[in-house]
């Protein structure tokens, strides 16, 4: 079942508050590492899965993409995106990727920032992505790191009585599937996959891994947001770039 948490108005308001902060995990950690792995988008057909408010989709156009489509399950997000980013070659659609019909081998680049952990059927997701990509096309995505997503929604930093961090607790790593947690509101639904499931699913669908990043914050980032120091102790995010293999005709 697909959860559309971003159309929960309490959630959306709180989410916008976090994102409006100058110093947050996205701006300081995930986005710079994600964007550093972008291939050339010059004249490319681009799809952004889980586009949110459309900033990344608009950015792809600035980088020279021919057409960019951003999709998101949330009407709040899509309304915001359509309002703030208007361009003839930029399209936003409220739809779940699982339900979208994409003609085979029509897309050069698929990007997705911190959205895949909301999607229940990872096999179907990657199968559809692989089908949609042209040969040599690139998928770039970031997700919650499996070390973090493994846990059952507990706060997993173990502290002393004084509140000093001792270590991060991990559990249930091999039990894949639904995780319900409190993040801004109760009952946010996410899905945990092991690292090997993520990697093997890509490979089985002809997507060859080119780069894997577990982001580390810069000194500047840590000086702006002290909590980022924790990233040296365990990673929050996993970013993977993979390329659809070119089948050589023998």
**Smallest separation (angstroms) from a copy of itself to the CB of 207:** 11
Site string for a copy of itself, 6-35 (x = CB under 8 A): ------------------------------
Residue 174 within binding range of a copy of itself, rule CB under 8 A: yes
Q: What Cα–Cα distance (Å) separates residue 132 from each residue in 33, 116, 140, 181, 213?
A: 25, 16, 14, 32, 24
Candidate list 62, 64, 167, 180; residue touching a copy of itself; CB under 8 A:
167
Q: How many CB atoms lie within 10 A of CB 235?
A: 20
* β-bridge mates for residue 48, sequence order: 70, 111
Could you tell me the smallest distance in angstroms from the CB atom of residue 233 to a copy of itself?
A: 5
- Is 160 an interacting residue with respect to a copy of itself (CB under 8 A)? no
Closest CA to 183 of 11, 16, 53, 13: 11
Choose one: 67-75, 98-106, 120-128, 226-234; the region binding a copy of itself (CB under 8 A): 226-234
Rounded CA gap, 72 and 57, in Å?
A: 11
Number of residues that bind a copy of itself (CB under 8 A): 34
Stretch that binds a copy of itself, among 18-26, 76-84, 102-110, 230-238 (CB under 8 A): 230-238
Nearer to a copy of itself, 161 or 166 (CB): 166
Least distance (Å) from a copy of itself to the CB of residue 158?
7
Q: Which residues neighbour 27 within 8 Å (Cβ) at sequence distance 6 or greater?
A: none
Number of other CB atoms surrounding residue 162 within 10 Å: 5
Q: Are strands 90-94 and 177-183 parallel, antiparallel or unpaired?
A: unpaired
Gyration radius from the chain CA atoms: 18
Shorter beta-carbon distance to a copy of itself: residue 9 or 229: 229
**In this chain, which of 18, 86, 175, 178 binds a copy of itself, going by CB under 8 A?**
175
The residue (of 175 and 178) whose beta carbon lies closer to a copy of itself is: 175
Binding positions for a copy of itself, 187-216, rule CB under 8 A: 194-196, 199-200, 203, 208-214, 216
Give min distance, CB of 202 to a copy of itself, in A: 9
> Per-residue x/- marks for a copy of itself, 140-159, CB under 8 A?
-------x--x-----x-x-
**Of all helices (H) and strands (E), which one includes residue 32?**
helix 31-35
- 172 is a site residue for a copy of itself (CB under 8 A): yes
Closest CA to 233 of 154, 156, 121, 171: 156
**Rounded Cα gap, residues 237 and 33, in angstroms:** 10
Q: Whole-angstrom Cα distance, residue 129 to residue 205?
A: 9
Tokens 């990673």 sit at which residue? 235
Give the containing element (helix H, strand E) for 12. Answer: helix 9-20
Binding site for a copy of itself (CB under 8 A): 147, 150, 156, 158, 166-175, 194-196, 199-200, 203, 208-214, 216, 231-235, 248
């Amino acid at each position: 079942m697909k959860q559309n948490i971003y159309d929960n108005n309490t959630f959306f308001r709180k989410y916008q508050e976090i994102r409006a902060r100058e110093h947050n995990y996205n701006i300081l950690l995930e986005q710079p590492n994600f964007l550093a792995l972008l291939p050339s988008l010059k004249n490319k057909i681009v799809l952004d899965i889980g586009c949110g408010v459309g900033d990344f989709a608009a950015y792809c156009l600035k980088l020279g993409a021919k057409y960019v489509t951003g999709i998101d399950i949330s009407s709040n997000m899509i309304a915001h995106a359509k309002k703030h980013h208007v361009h003839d070659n930029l399209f936003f659609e409220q739809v779940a990727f699982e339900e979208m019909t994409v003609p085979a081998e029509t897309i050069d680049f698929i990007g997705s920032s911190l959205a895949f952990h909301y999607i229940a059927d990872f096999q179907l997701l990657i199968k559809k992505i692989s089908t949609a990509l042209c040969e040599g096309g690139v998928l770039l995505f970031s997700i919650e790191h499996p070390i973090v997503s493994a846990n059952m929604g507990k706060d997993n930093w173990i502290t002393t009585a004084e509140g000093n961090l001792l270590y991060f607790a991990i559990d249930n790593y091999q039990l894949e599937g639904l995780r319900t947690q409190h993040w801004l509101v109760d009952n946010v639904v996410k899905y945990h996959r092991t690292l090997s499931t993520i990697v093997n699913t890509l490979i089985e669908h002809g997507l060859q891994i080119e780069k894997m990043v577990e982001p580390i914050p810069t000194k500047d980032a840590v000086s702006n947001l002290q909590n980022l120091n924790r990233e040296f102790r365990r990673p929050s995010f996993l970013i993977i770039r993979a390329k659809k293999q070119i089948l050589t005709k023998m």
